[in-house]
Structure 1
């Protein structure tokens, strides 16, 4: 069997670059003391309040995982949950002013990290990369991972 150059293996290359990129983004998120999932939650809440169920769907995470994220964000004063007056069974989630300030710091730090990460790509190449990554199948739901 012939040895394969790791750079020929697209999955390996994407995984390796992904780990390096993830480390860079996590370091940028450290500016606001946020875990990536917490930052993504704040980003999702930036346009305005939304139901907890809709937020879980938008983030593509299990509602029980979202509860833990929201507990962290509420403890830090970055988001708050309240009962929906129209339906007391629903929770509405909203970013606080402190959350908005943290998100501004995150946005600036992540923006700088992205400028460094993608400095060798033109704006057009970045758009192509974004479209290609959107097409990569990560979880088809038809396999057993463990």
Structure 2
């Protein structure tokens, strides 16, 4: 992973903080590690259950390439994907997903799914601070 990817993830999760969305960002890179799609959560802002960062980047590439087979792409995401996003990732044939933080709210290990494509990525300290700050600010406003 290069620093450009990490910087882009950080930039996108900061945008989520402004819109009160859970700060999750996703990036797709091609076989040359070139960033081809960037997305962030917008469930709260758009009031749409499908406003997950992972689904947004997958849809961007579907539209761009006119192909539903994204096996040649890798995904980088700030938070380990939820079940909804895992299904979308599997359906699009992405075989490598790098994440920065565990998603302790999603207990999907008990489900039978091909989730062997996940790889934990270094850089968790930076993103962990961003996520903690988001939830701290959210609780203070309640």
Q: What is the TM-score with the length of structure 2 in the denominator?
A: 0.28
Which structure exhibits the higher relative contact order, with contacts defined as CA atoms closer than 8 Å and separated by 6 or more residues? 1
Higher strand share: 2
Larger of the two Rg values belongs to structure: 1
Higher helix share: 1
Q: What is the TM-score with the length of structure 1 in the denominator?
A: 0.28
